[in-house]
Structure 1
Amino acid sequence: MSKVDPELKKKLLKESQAPFKGLRRILWIAFSGSAFLGLLIMLSKILSGSELQPNNLIIQIFASIIFPTLLFLDRDKD
């Protein structure tokens, strides 16, 4: 009947159900790294005595929580 390799067919079906998954994971990793780096810089500024707006720190903390969570939720469940 079908001349397509079963493994290739399985891979193509999986890709059609979750397109751009690799790109999404790369973006979640990049955003997570950026959020942690920004948080590290903000914390070092606080420790050095500089004043920061509390809103910026709150945004950075939430970004440091949300992006790794999205990366975790986007993993394979196999």
Structure 2
Amino acid sequence: MSKIDPKLKQKLLKESQAPFKGLRKILWIAFSGSAFLGLLIMLSKVASGSELQQNNLFIQLGACILFPTLLFLDRDKD
């Protein structure tokens, strides 16, 4: 009945079930990179002998765990 290519139909159905998946992946990658870069900068400050608040380090470590986890959970299950 429909003249839509079956591959295109499957892709459209998949996109309707999980909208903005590509954008979410890009954001998770960007946030993960930012978190790891921030952690690297913090660790280099500690290595140079600078004082660092422990709360800031824990927040950065949490971000380094959270964002890659969200990227992992947002992957295709196929």
- Report the Cα offset of residue 27 of structure 1: 0.1
Unaligned runs of 5+ in 1: none
How many pairs were matched up? Answer: 78
The 5 A counterparts of 1:15-30 are: 15-30=15-30
TM-score of the superposition, structure 2-length normalised? 0.99
Task: Give the Å deviation of 1:38.
Answer: 0.2
Q: Give the ranges of 4+ consecutive aligned residues of structure 1 lying more than 2 Å apart after TM superposition.
A: none
Alignment partner, residue 6 of structure 2: 6
How far does residue 2 in structure 1 lie from its aligned partner after superposition?
0.8
Identity of aligned pairs, percent?
Answer: 85
Specify the code of the residue in structure 2 equivalent to 1:19. P
Q: Counterparts of 1:74 and 1:51 in 2: how far apart (Å)?
A: 37
- What CA RMSD, in Å, does the superposition of the two structures yield over aligned residues? 0.4
Q: Deviations over 1:21-58 (max 9, x none)?
A: 00000000000000000000000000100001111000
Q: Secondary structure at the match of 1:77?
A: coil
Q: Which residue of 2 aligns with 1:61?
A: 61
